[in-house]
Structure 1
Amino acid sequence: MTTADDGDGPAADPYETADLDDAAWDRQVVWWDRTFVAIVLLTVAALPLSGQRGTSLWVAYVAMAAILGAYAAWGARAARSRDQRTAAAYVVVLIAGTSVTVAQNGVATLLLFGAFTQLWMLLEPERRAVVASVVLAAATTVGIAYQGGFDLPTLLEAAPQMAIALAFAIMLGLWVATTMRRSEERARLLHELRRAQAELAESHHAAGVAAERERLAREIHDTLAQGFTSVVTQAQAATAALDRGEQDRARERLLVVEQTARDNLAEARALVAAFAPVPLQGSTLAEALRRLAERFTAETGTPVMLDVAGATEAPAVAVGGATGHAAADVVLLRAAQEALANVRRHAGARAVTIRLTRVDTGTAADVRLEVTDDGRGLPPGQVDGLGLAGMRERVSAVGGTLAVEPGEDGGTRVEVHVPAAGGAA
């Protein structure tokens, strides 16, 4: 049995929940159909076996045929559609047919097993089923009294028996209704939980896709975009050298173009394969910074002084250890790349210095990367540009800090601190 929708139930996603409830209910109704038909057929067989003959037997058969016909026309449909008007029409025939059959022979009280059950199955809410059960019990009591002569002693004898049957039917019906209501509520809650889980998984997937896109954008900006900028710059320098007839100078620029293009190709393959940055594969951060400095000097002609004294053995700056170590190395390398890119684009510097040091405070240790130049510094608003914003996000992701400020002797100083894996020395 199901309860009527009185507006107090959950309103979320009613169509999907109703579809699930209806599918489960239809499977149960099939068994109710078979059980009820079996009870009627048993009663049909029991009447002649009890000695019933003549007109009264045929009256009972006609009454039971009316019940079956009404069930086929209205009851079965009402059980599936839960339409209360159709159910009420069938219940009238059921009560009348049951009382007429019982009036012909007391054995027909077998029909009450199916009749009480159908009242609770078809009628909603429970109070309607209670009223119908009382009416059925009263009508059956009258039928039993009619069979015994319809006198007061017979009526008083049948009444307590039907009162007990009525009390049992009501208690059982209420228990079944409560159980099924709770079962439906659990099914609804389970459906809502699954839907919420699906929505959460979709949300996490969307967030993961967005985060991956942002990561790839930063990776491309810090590697491929800077490499292509270098290729364009060196190609322009080579063209200018050819125009001046400086073939050796042009050849040098073209060699830099070729090497930069190869490095960019390797970076692209590493991004596709989700590997560590190419400069860090099989080497320490200090070695990767040295190659970065040499490449920058070759491309721009601006000398880069690299100072990594005391940092080469620091746990957080040696690739090949834990994943956290490699993450810090990547952050520091990308920060150095972005700082040099800004020097190339904006500084007009004559010299650049890169320092990588380990700072121990007794309770903790940091690795500090400092990139300074003697140029004209960043133009106003550049601190919020894409490159520095991405650098700041990278540094924050590993628990570090980033500072971009004017240098002591002019130019710009970029300083990055990240926690050293392994704590204090």
Structure 2
Amino acid sequence: MAGLRTVRTDVGGREQFWQRTLRGWDTAFWILLAITAAFTVPAASGPGRRAVTVAAFAALAVGYQLLGHRGARLASRALTQSYLVVLVVATTVVTWSAELGIVLLFVAYSQIWFFATSRVAGVLWTVLLTTGVVAATALRVDASPDELPGIVGQSVVGLVFAIGLGLWVTYVAEEGEVRAQLLDELNAAQAALAASHHSEGVLAERARIAQEIHDTLAQGFTSVVMLAQASSAELAVGRTESAQERIGQIEAVARENLAEARALVAAFAPPALEDGDLAAALRRLGERFAAETGTPVRVDVDAPDTADPVPQDVAVAVLRGAQESLANVRRHAGASSVHLRLTRRSDEVELAVVDDGRGLRPDDPEGNGVRGLRERARAGGGSLELTGSDGAGTRVRLRLPTGGRA
């Protein structure tokens, strides 16, 4: 708060206060000035003093418009302090020329505390104005030495009240400025936070889409390339029937990839899960893998008959895990058989993919697919285990919570 106190009591803080509240002060000034002039001018004794009173009010109005209002709008200390000179002189003249001129003090004191650049300046201007009013009153009534203490005493009471009220109003105004500054800072922080969250959301969505493309389209295209290479090899040796079978598989994979692409664009569930049966989707995946690679795949499902359906987001993660695991078997394992096992428990589902291929070597790097699968498992509140040894096959175990009962 120390820094804010420094900001709000210097000229810069006062300039911000002027610019925030000028419209309201304009309205109050013109209304009070008009009311005061309406009562004061007729009360002036004689045409000469009435003319002086009108001139003083006119000078005050012009001074406010050209110096006070303009100075506050432009944040000019020179203009606002020049206006305070006009205010003190005009109020003193009106107090001398009209019996009700002292009413103008209600306008003058409030104007002093609005345009003063500090508390000390407000006190000094208030004392100066009160001194001028005392002198003007004494001249107007031609006060004797015995009457001066009474005039001074009344003016001192008004002075103390004006200073106390001015200090309180200034405190309230400065506290309002502090709150306004804090609100501005809060709004700026909220805007920055919203922008940061938006950027994080965009990056997260890009990462999600990239992972979906890797898990679906990229793997499908890999299958198409490998089947096309096999077809070319079989055609080269005259095995047209086998080549035609491979071409049919290429068409099937391409159609499935097209369906995956449309589902990805439309944010639908994967086509393999359209019927909501995860076990059936895994069996179809295993059959297609066996047909494309010649590697037999056994799919087992261990789930009670009363098990609730697997939530769609969990089913998608399990299916993507199976696809990624089989893609790694195709590319790296050189396996002669693969076993997929889906197990439902009370509050989780587990997918195990085991092959009898070359296994894991100490220097094998973890690819993008495995990293993406691990991130998918972590985001779903689950875990991924990848185990195996050189020449002894690989085991992938994916566990995800379902939040339901088996």
1:315 maps onto 2:296 in alignment: no
Cα shift at 1:36: 4.8
Question: Residues 46 and 272 of structure 1: is their aligned pair in 2 closer, same or farther, counting only changes over 3 Å?
Answer: same
Indicate the larger mover: 295-304 or 154-163: 154-163
Looking at structure 1, the residues matched to 18 and 209 of structure 2 have their Cα atoms a distance apart, in angstroms, of 48
Match status 1:24 vs 2:24: no
Give the corresponding residue for 1:322.
none
Amino acid at match of 2:24: Q
Aligned partner of residue 153 in structure 1, secondary structure: coil
Tell me the CA shift for residue 26 of structure 1: 3.1
Q: Pick from 187, 207, 210: which aligns with 1:214?
A: 207
CA distance in 1, matches of 2:124, 2:37: 27
Q: 5+ unaligned residues in a row in structure 1: which ranges?
A: 320-324
C-alpha contact (below 8 Å) 1:373/1:407 kept by paired residues: no
Aligned 1:123-142 pairs, distance under 5 A: 123-142=116-135
The answer for the alignment partner of 2:366 in structure 1 is 384
Deviates more, 1:295-304 or 1:110-119: 110-119
Alignment partner of 1:328 is 2:314: yes
Letter in 2 for 1:304: V
Q: Distance in 2 between matches of 1:235 and 1:420?
A: 39
Q: 2: distance between equivalents of 1:345 and 1:224?
A: 16
Given the two structures, how large is their TM-score scaled by the length of structure 1? 0.86
Matched with 2:50 is 57
Once the 2 structures are TM-superposed, how far is the Cα of residue 189 of structure 1 from its aligned partner?
2.1
Q: Tell me the equivalent position of 1:348.
A: 334
Q: How far did residue 328 of structure 1 move?
A: 2.1
Structure 1 range deviating more: 195-204 or 33-42: 33-42
Match of 2:228 in 1: 235
Alignment partners' CA distance in 2, 1:154 and 1:164 = 16
**Letter of the 1:390 counterpart:** G
1:173 aligned to 2:190?
A: no
Letter in 1 for 2:91: T
Q: CA deviation at 1:22?
A: 6.0
2:34 corresponding residue in structure 1: 38
Q: Which of residues 330, 339, 342 in structure 1 aligns to 2:325?
A: 339
Q: Secondary structure at the match of 1:226?
A: helix
| Secondary structure of 2:322 counterpart | helix
- Match of 1:186, SS state, is helix
Encode CA deviations 1:48-89: one digit per residue, 9 max, x unaligned. Answer: 4xxx11433334444444333433332222233342322222
Give the drift of 1:110. 2.1
1:93-130, CA deviations, whole angstroms, 9 ceiling, x for partnerless residues? 32223223322332211221211111111111122111
Match of 1:156 in 2: 149
Q: Distance in 2 between matches of 1:289 and 1:28?
A: 73
Q: 1:18 to 1:204 in 2, by over 3 A?
A: farther
Please tell me the residue identity of whatever aligns with 1:257. Answer: I
Number of residue pairs matched by the alignment: 401
Structure 1 residue 204 corresponds to structure 2 residue 190: no
User: Match of 1:315, as an amino acid?
Assistant: A
Task: Compute the displacement of 1:39 (Å).
Answer: 4.4
Could you give the per-residue CA deviations for residues 319-354 of structure 1, whole angstroms, max 9, x where no partner exists? 4xxxxx222222221111111000100111111111
CA distance in 2, matches of 1:223, 1:94: 81
- Opposite residue 178 of structure 2, the aligned amino acid is E
- Aligned partner of 2:23: which letter? R
- In structure 2, how many angstroms separate the alpha carbons of the residues matched to 1:27 and 1:417? 66
- Residue 161 of structure 2 aligns to a residue in which SS? helix
**Aligned partner of residue 146 in structure 2, secondary structure:** helix
Question: Closer, same or farther in 2 for the Cα pair 1:21/1:253, shift >3 Å?
Answer: farther
Aligned pair 1:194/2:194, yes or no?
no
Unaligned runs of 5+ in 2: none
User: What residue in structure 2 maps to residue 397 of structure 1?
Assistant: 379
Are the equivalent residues in 2 in contact too, given 1:372–1:411 (CA < 8 A)? yes
TM-score (norm 2): 0.90
Q: 1:373 aligns with which of 330, 355, 358?
A: 355
What displacement does 1:249 show? 0.9
Give the Cα separation in 2 of the matches to 1:22 and 1:208.
Answer: 42
Task: Please tell me the root mean square deviation across aligned C-alpha atoms, in Å.
Answer: 2.7
Query: Displacement, 1:301?
Result: 0.9
Q: Quick one: structure 1 residues 82 and 283, their matched pair in 2 at CA, closer, same or farther if it must change by over 3 Å?
A: closer
Whole-Å separation in 1 of the counterparts to 2:260 and 2:304: 24
- For residues 113 and 18 of structure 1, what CA distance do their matches in structure 2 show? 22
Decide whether the 8 Å contact of 1:354 with 1:370 is kept in 2: yes
DSSP 3-state at the match of 1:307: strand
Distance in 1 separating the partners of 2:217 and 2:246: 19
With 79-88 and 158-167 compared, the bigger mean Cα shift is at: 79-88
Change (3 A) 1:409 1:61: closer
